[in-house]
Structure 1
Amino acid sequence: MADASTPPPKMTVAELEAFLEQEFPQVFGAGKLYHVEDVAHRFARMRCRYDPGQLRPGGTISGPTMMTLADTGLYVAILASIGPVGLAVTTNLNVNFLKKPAPRDLIAECRLVKLGKRLAVGEVAIWSDGEGEELVAHATGTYSIPPER
């Protein structure tokens, strides 16, 4: 993933999980479905554990589930790259739903294509675990990073 010229992540998986549990207990508290699997500078790999409560009519995993996975994954990639900046916020999120996801865990790989002082832009590839890497959704997002104080 990283070469010798790539800086190490500013937060580990354990540090990110603890930060998210503290700052976003509604999503990362007890019984959480979203998990950080791996991070590197400008990168995060996330898992959304399958739960039948995520299904919408027609038996497919809901769009909001995949949107939360994409949004959270990009946020984690940013925090892994700049450290615990709780006030980095989503300014745009665009999701293309490409294929009905299987009723399994979802995997998201998130890469930042731009990481500036005030803005970060990234993309997310989402697929069903164990179903190959054919995408079920693709997302892009922009985040505002607050100025350092």
Structure 2
Amino acid sequence: MKKFEFNPRKFASGGLIILLGMGTAIGSIDYSLGTLARMGPGYYPLMLGVLLAFLGLLIVATPDSPDEMMPSEDEVDAAAKKPSPIRPWVATVGSMLAFMLLGKYGGLVPATFAMIFIAALGDKDNSLLASVLLGLGVTAFAVGVFYYGMQMQFPLFNWG
């Protein structure tokens, strides 16, 4: 068994995921949780928050990859010289913010579409049409599963 070594990058990334998961779980408590048979609007975010925090804990607690899987110093130096891509980060954070705002003020359909559309734009290989089609497909799936299938108490549209 490999001895635990402190890795600041893993600790920071895992810690950030833990904080995000805990924040999601704590924020979901403001909503009605319901029961497993009749889930309230806070049930799903609570489960996702707990799962996210657990995954962050796994990132922090698991040992590093074997040495042969680690990049060489030359590869690390070359990657450090490249500028960090900002587009995926902005799209990811923007999609989460859009879902939070539109989920409260717009409903499930606009929130889901905006989240998927904005996140898809984070990939430079995605076209505008592909992002729209992906947003429409995932929105239709979410409406079918969460609104009709699970009968979640999340309005499709909320005008106000």
Fold match by TM threshold 0.5: no
**Given the two structures, how large is their TM-score scaled by the length of structure 1?**
0.29
**Given the two structures, how large is their TM-score scaled by the length of structure 2?**
0.27
Larger RCO: Structure 1 or Structure 2 (Cα < 8 Å, ≥ 6 residues apart)? 1
Indicate the structure (1 or 2) with the bigger Cα radius of gyration. Answer: 2
* Bigger fraction of residues in strand: 1
* Bigger fraction of residues in helix: 2
